[in-house]
Amino acid sequence: MRTLTEPSREVPIVLEADVVVCGGGPGGFPAAIAAARHGAKTVLIERYGFMGGLATAGLVAPILAHTASESDIPIVEGILKEATERMHALGCAPTWEEALGEWGVRFDAEALKVVIDEMCAEAGVHLLLHTHITDVVTDGDRIAAVIVESKSGRQAVAGKVFIDATGDADVAFRAGAPTTQGRAFDGRGESIGSFFHIAGHAPLSEERQQELRQQVEREMEDGRFRFYNPNFMNNNAHHCDHFSSNMTRYGGDSTDVRDMTHAETSIRREIWDLVRYLRATAPEFADAYVQQTSPQVGPRESRQIVGPYALTGEDVHQGAKFEDAIARGSWWIDIHCPLGHTYPVHLCTVECPKGAECPYWAAEHEQMRSRQELYPPQGDWYDIPYRSLLSVATPNLLASGRCISATHEGMAGARVMGTCMAVGQAAGTAAALAVAAGVDPAAVDVRALQETLRADGALV
- Using CB under 6 A as the binding rule, whether residue 329 contacts ligand FAD is answered as no
Binding-site size for ligand FAD (CB under 6 A) equals: 39
Asked whether the beta carbons of 339 and 352 are under 8 A apart, the reply is no
- Contacts of 256 by beta carbon, 8 Å cutoff, 6+ apart: none
Closer residue to ligand FAD in complex, CB, 166/429: 166
Q: Does 15 bind ligand FAD (CB under 6 A)?
A: no
Please name the residues in contact with 351: beta carbons below 8 A apart, sequence gap of 6 or more.
Answer: 342
Minimal distance, residue 263 CB to ligand FAD, in Å? 10
User: Parallel, antiparallel, or unpaired for β 397-399 and 142-150?
Assistant: unpaired
What is the chain's length?
Answer: 460
The reply on whether position 401 binds ligand FAD by CB under 6 A is yes
Beta bridge partners of 385: 325
Among the listed residues 24, 30, 376, 385, the single contact to ligand FAD using CB under 6 A: 24
- Is the CB of 282 or the CB of 313 nearer to ligand FAD? 313
Residue 128 CB, nearest distance to ligand FAD (Å)? 9
CA 384 vs CA 336, 367, 433: distances in Å? 22, 23, 19
Residue 94 CB, shortest distance to ligand FAD, in Å, is 15
Q: Which of 30, 74, 78, 167 binds ligand FAD (CB under 6 A)?
A: 167
Using CB under 6 A as the criterion, what x/- string covers residues 354-393 for binding ligand FAD?
----------------------------------------
**Nearer Cβ to ligand FAD (104/252):** 104
Distance CA 166, CA 24 (A): 8
| Residue from 17, 76, 165, 337 in contact with ligand FAD (CB under 6 A) | 165
Q: Max Cα separation, the chain?
A: 66
Rounded to 10 degrees, what is the CA torsion of 207, 212, 218, 222? 180
Q: Could you give the CA distance from residue 221 to residue 216 in angstroms, rounded to a whole number?
A: 9
Positions 182 through 221 that interact with ligand FAD (CB under 6 A): 193-194
User: Hey, how many other C-beta atoms are within 10 angstroms of the C-beta on 394?
Assistant: 26
Q: Which of 65, 74, 98 is nearest to 375 (CA)?
A: 65
| Residue from the set 38, 81, 88, 415 that interacts with ligand FAD by CB under 6 A | 415
Single out the residue of 139, 105, 198 nearest to residue 394, CA to CA: 139
Q: H or E segment at 147? A: strand 142-150
User: Is position 74 an interface residue for ligand FAD (rule: CB under 6 A)?
Assistant: no
Q: Find the binder of ligand FAD among 32, 75, 112, 133 (CB under 6 A).
A: 133
- Output the 3-class SS for 151-170: CCEEEEEEEEEEEECCCCCH
Q: Which of 18, 82, 164, 170 is in the footprint of ligand FAD by CB under 6 A?
A: 170
Residues 420-459 that bind ligand FAD (CB under 6 A): 420
Distance of closest approach, residue 131 Cβ to ligand FAD, in angstroms: 6
Are 56 and 294 contacting, i.e. CB atoms less than 8 angstroms apart? Answer: no
Q: Which stretch binds ligand FAD (CB under 6 A): 24-32, 90-98, 211-219, 438-446?
A: 24-32
Contact set with ligand FAD (CB under 6 A): 23-28, 45-48, 53-55, 57-58, 60, 62-64, 104, 132-133, 165-168, 170, 193-194, 246, 298, 300, 401-402, 415-418, 420
